[in-house]
């Protein structure tokens, strides 16, 4: 059965956001807990562009640059937490053999997936430790 796990780095990210935006943390945690409890919601977490039309409460997208390198990384944006643009990106990995979604980071919208960004480097280090098979 599919599930969600939170890496310690993502928990630390949420703790940091809590200081300035506790409402956002509550919304993020509520969505992720709902997904953990409801397989139908969790199944959407690997559907590229799910929620793009803003009918759903969130949008899912592939981290294309990393997926092109064989890493199964995704990002989720919650529409409710937006002020024109979503405020936060929830970055997670999916292990298809164990059906585990690992939340690796929760970043402000200035996160642009650049490989030189320290947050990207952190996510990639953790991802590699998870031993998720490459699909390239």
The per-residue pLDDT for 136 is 67
Cα–Cα distance for residue pair 93/73, rounded to 1 Å: 4
The per-residue pLDDT for 82 is 74
Cα–Cα distance for residue pair 93/89, rounded to 1 Å: 13
The per-residue pLDDT for 80 is 86
The per-residue pLDDT for 135 is 80
Q: Mind listing the pLDDT tens digit for each residue in 4-38? A: 999 999 999 999 999 999 999 999 999 999 999 99
Number of H helices, E strands in the chain: 5, 5
Residue ranges of domains in the chain, CATH in brackets: 3-129 (3.30.2310.20)
Cα–Cα distance for residue pair 92/5, rounded to 1 Å: 9
Q: Which portions of the chain are predicted below pLDDT 70?
A: 83-86, 136
Sign of the C-alpha dihedral computed for residues 74, 14, 109 and 130 taken in this order: negative
Note whether 4 and 42 are within 8 A (CB). Answer: yes
């Amino acid at each position: 059965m599919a599930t969600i796990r939170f890496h310690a780095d993502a928990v630390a990210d949420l703790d940091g956001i809590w200081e300035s935006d506790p409402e956002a943390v509550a919304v993020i945690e509520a969505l992720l807990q709902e997904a953990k409890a409801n397989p139908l919601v969790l199944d959407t977490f690997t559907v590229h562009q799910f929620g793009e039309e803003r009918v759903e409460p969130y949008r899912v997208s592939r981290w294309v640059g990393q997926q092109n390198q064989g890493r199964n990384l995704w990002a989720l944006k919650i529409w409710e937490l937006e002020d024109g643009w979503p405020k936060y990106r929830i970055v997670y990995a999916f292990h298809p053999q164990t059906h585990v979604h690992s939340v690796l980071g929760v970043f402000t919208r200035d996160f642009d997936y650049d490989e030189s960004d320290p947050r990207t480097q952190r996510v990639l280090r953790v991802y590699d430790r998870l031993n998720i098979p490459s699909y390239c």
